[in-house]
Every structure is written in structure tokens, then in C-alpha cells.
Amino acid sequence: MKIQNKNKAGFTLVEIMIVVAIIGLLAAIAIPNFVKARQTSQQNACINNLRQIDGAIQQWALEAKASSGQAVSIGQVNPYIKLDKNGNLPACPAGGTYTASNVSSNPVCSIGGNHVLP
């Protein structure tokens, strides 16, 4: 009589559960870091946009011989701002809007918080 060995290849339920638990643990560690990195990059992009707008305001003020307290709007400095690929003003990546009050003050983002020029 022949003895037949049945070798079943595959993973047991315990092995699969351990792998799933490890993947879940890694995801629990990684996802908050991704969220924080996204917020930081949005903040940095917003600050760079504010720098660009401030530079445009200063250039406009020099060319228009405007005093430091003179009111200015974003529309007045459009020709001095680098537009995006669609021809629009740069926008805050977090969804805020930019405003400027006068030549001597910095432009601000409506989000506030860390979205300000240093």
C-alpha cells in the first residue's frame, strides 16, 4: 500500500492575522505623519505666495511713488505677480484668500494662524 503525502501550501489564519495587524500598526504610525507633512507644505506654499504678493506691492509702490500708508489692493499689483498656469493669481493651497491693506503692512491670508509672513 502506498502512503500519500498531501502537502498543502498556504498560510494559516494566524499568520494572515499577524500580517494584517502589522500593516495596521504601520498605517496608524504613518498616516498622522502624512497629514502633518501636508499641512506643513500648504503652510510653506502660502507663506511663499504672501512673500510674492508683498514683493509685488513694494515694486508697485516704487513705480507708482506711493507713500507707505497708501491703500493698495491685490488688483492693483496683478501685473507684478507671477500667475499660475491658468493665468490666475496664486491661491492659498489650504483654501484661504489673500488681502492687502496698505503699502507698509504685510499681506495676510484669511486662514491666519501660521499662514503669516514672519
In a domain, 116, yes or no: no
Residue 9 has pLDDT above 80, yes or no: no
Banded pLDDT at 1 (limits 50, 70, 90)? low
Distance between CA atoms of residues 92 and 111, nearest Å: 9
Residue 101 has pLDDT above 70, yes or no: yes
In a domain, 4, yes or no: no
Average of pLDDT values for 34-57? Answer: 93
In a domain, 6, yes or no: no
Exposure string for 26-46, b = 16+ CB within 10 A, e = fewer: eeeeeeeeeeeeeeeebbebb
Give phi and psi for 11, each to the nearest 5. -105, 145
Among 17-26, 80-89, 101-110, top mean pLDDT goes to 17-26
In a domain, 66, yes or no: yes
Q: Enter the pTM of the model.
A: 0.75
If one counts the domains in the chain, the total is: 1
Residue 86 has pLDDT above 90, yes or no: no
Q: Which residues pair with 109 in a beta bridge?
A: 98
Mean pLDDT of the chain: 89
Task: Tell me which residue range forms the domain holding 35.
Answer: 13-109
Average of pLDDT values for 66-78? Answer: 87
Residue type, 72: V
User: What DSSP letter does each residue of 68-99 carry, written as one string?
Assistant: TT-B--GGGGGGGS---TTSPPP--TTS--EE
In a domain, 62, yes or no: yes
Residue 4 has pLDDT above 90, yes or no: no
Is residue 68 packed enough to be buried (19+ CB in 10 Å), middle (13-18) or exposed (0-12)? exposed
Evaluate the CA torsion angle 70, 75, 78, 83 in order and state its sign: positive
In a domain, 5, yes or no: no
